[in-house]
Structure 1
């Protein structure tokens, strides 16, 4: 190959949006290049959804086994977790997914795969190793990486990627950050057998949620033996042998916590600092994400930003939707846009926490006439039959338009159930479509119509 090559399209990064974007371009007849500096599949496949949910599944098996007597199943008292085997199962799933993405790309006609770190040298030129690639269309899908506060960088900390490589259960795992990553790993390793302390500088865990949601989930996790230190700021950390001590600025509790392992889960930042963007007219916002419009175009004509790097979602499903939006506008004469998207996500603790649309705290601050439907999981027959009665279902409705504004489900199977609500919201139909539906008994979902038949004004 020559050192300089011209393409019709270049895709940088193979996270959730990149491979589909590259494949679509190639299938449309565009001579396409796709560049990956590390592992194919991005965060989701390698250090996010696939490996963590595989390990969450192992942790749940251990948890259910310990509860065997509750269901009349005598298993024995000594339930042990072999983390090396858990890791091996996880690694196999990751390997299959990563190799599947790579093989798909390498076997696609009109598509050339480059391995290496891509850096812009101009608005439409990208350097990979000693090769310079040029294209009129460039799609940036470089994702994000963990943020580690300077105060914690002087000890042997782990990120969400590092902790996946452990083969021995930590004795005492300290987690800094009480949001999605911290809570999933906290519960997971508690069920594996670790002592867990989670440090959160906010007043409550997962601060974006309604206060009752956060408090309920924290109580559930505390019942499993997880300790929380809220309103506690990490100001430094020291290490002596295998012991790590975190020093806190706090109003309650001890000012130090000592454990054997430290997981830092304090958020993520976009991979924009080493892309060579200073050689382009591509603009960043004040949080260093690539600035885009409602169709994901950047400030440079012919350049788009998809996935975590644009700061418009930070979820696998929103990244894939980014691809759908760009492809629809480019190839299908279909004017889709980001603002059409309804907020939805799930936190994969057990029980899971799922949310769509508006929060209750947002509703209270709005000038809308709001109805609310609410039911504890402990009042749902199927939840009781399964011995999974923790949590609740909450639905918000605009009393004037009869449209569903948002919903939160903290409970068994909530991550699946909530889509019946989301689909009605996308269809822009009134809540009565569900409230008058006849759902199968006995299921968790059958109570969605019942909840909507008993709406009350939001106090």
Structure 2
């Protein structure tokens, strides 16, 4: 049994950042990663960065095989950089292998060569992320040669001509928009009758209409019955409001949610609790039910964003080296973005949420076609919305559907988290022409 003061399981955002920080404090750290293709974590290898690289390539008309090659080169560079960020630290050891708990603070690590190494950690930090949920209960899906996930889609070198996406959530829509721009004919099958039901109806309708205008087909309120695998195509049988029909596809993407990656961690051999979704149960300090064992990032079942994982690092760091005041319960407002052809971003309350919670608000709206920079870009699609507290004029939330909204939302997030009145943004002098200057007009006068 080899003993370490700190063991990090998983090379993700929170884990790698914590390991690096511990090393700068002179502490010894063992980092266990089961795949040498995942140094740096999900974001840089199979999610945020490669997917956005492909989104931009599709928008710019880059052929699909060339875009995949460029993506692969980029992730290779990032992976190497992240590996050396830790490996070059004298107090960090990187061990390639699969970690399985054999006791609360003990692990058996099966290396790529088959050797089993037993290690014990005074402190253990679990950062194993999440994996695509493939609904094995649907016949023909799990073993289909035509099945793709958001990960394996980015490994294809040939563009599928007929692509079906199972799931009309944010990941599914981002893939649908991107692949449509690459030239595939895309059909989205979603179980929900309402398109993006969490979004305000006017925003959801605008995005739906734009995606349909781009040539994407939607089948809403359907139930997937089975996948029939033929020699060269998959036939997906589904029930659409009582009528059973089917659609054929060169490939189909499962985008029906992600599951915390805990099933092979051996948690049954410990007192670490998981919930019914197999997420590790943590308190507001990200502590598990076992002393000196923490879980960070997607594995806790919370918001699945790399910047949340980074903030999880800050929470743990504050416990180890600070006052311990930072928690998940006092986390500030968090923005989100969906990188469809015209991006959709949110922060704070939507109008639908304000209604449900009985919160009074002033409503501000602006069509993107009224923004000069949108005309310059050549994409006037979209709608900006903001909700304001009628008493103190602080911003309750904003939804921005329009070009470059993923940059603008950070300014609105800063205003929310610093309790600035909306007039601060309304009266700011912005560079021109920019999308941000639309805040002068958005906040001119409330609709009600």
Q: What is the TM-score when the length of structure 2 is the normalising length?
A: 0.94
For 1:11 and 1:290, how far apart are their aligned partners in 2?
A: 15
For 2:63 and 2:434, how far apart are their aligned partners in 1?
A: 34
Structure 1 residues without counterparts, runs of 5 or longer? 63-80
For 2:234 and 2:396, how far apart are their aligned partners in 1?
A: 45
Q: Provide the residue aligned with 1:394 in structure 2.
A: 385
3-state secondary structure, aligned to 1:378: helix
3-state secondary structure, aligned to 1:455: coil
Structure 1 stretches of 4+ moved >4 Å: none
Q: Provide the residue aligned with 2:15 in structure 1.
A: 18
355-364 vs 180-189, which moves further:
180-189
The answer to whether the 8 Å contact 1:203/1:230 transfers is: yes
The answer to whether the 8 Å contact 1:119/1:276 transfers is: yes
Q: Provide the residue aligned with 1:332 in structure 2.
A: 322
Matched, 1:321 2:333: no
Q: Provide the residue aligned with 1:206 in structure 2.
A: 196
137-146 vs 157-166, which moves further:
157-166
Matched, 1:311 2:301: yes
Q: Provide the residue aligned with 1:414 in structure 2.
A: 405
- Out of 8, 31, 36, the position equivalent to 1:34 is 31
For 2:354 and 2:130, how far apart are their aligned partners in 1?
A: 31
Structure 2 residues without counterparts, runs of 5 or longer? 111-115
Matched, 1:290 2:280: yes
Q: What is the TM-score when the length of structure 1 is the normalising length?
A: 0.92
The answer to whether the 8 Å contact 2:178/2:341 transfers is: no
Q: Provide the residue aligned with 2:142 in structure 1.
A: 153
Shift, 1:169, TM fit: 1.1
Paired residues in the alignment total 436
3-state secondary structure, aligned to 1:235: strand
Shift, 1:170, TM fit: 0.8
330-339 vs 351-360, which moves further:
330-339
Shift, 1:311, TM fit: 1.6
3-state secondary structure, aligned to 1:336: coil
Matched, 1:46 2:45: yes
For 2:85 and 2:407, how far apart are their aligned partners in 1?
A: 29
Matched, 1:216 2:206: yes
The answer to whether the 8 Å contact 2:343/2:402 transfers is: yes
The answer to whether the 8 Å contact 1:204/1:215 transfers is: no
For 2:244 and 2:55, how far apart are their aligned partners in 1?
A: 31
RMSD of aligned alpha carbons:
1.5
- 1:95-114 matches, within 5 Å, as 95-114=76-95
Q: Provide the residue aligned with 2:249 in structure 1.
A: 259
Shift, 1:252, TM fit: 7.5
The answer to whether the 8 Å contact 2:335/2:409 transfers is: no
Shift, 1:236, TM fit: 0.6
- Out of 3, 6, 9, the position equivalent to 2:6 is 9
Q: Provide the residue aligned with 1:127 in structure 2.
A: 108
For 1:426 and 1:205, how far apart are their aligned partners in 2?
A: 30
For 2:304 and 2:197, how far apart are their aligned partners in 1?
A: 17
For 1:246 and 1:44, how far apart are their aligned partners in 2?
A: 30
Shift, 1:128, TM fit: 0.9
Q: Provide the residue aligned with 1:71 in structure 2.
A: none
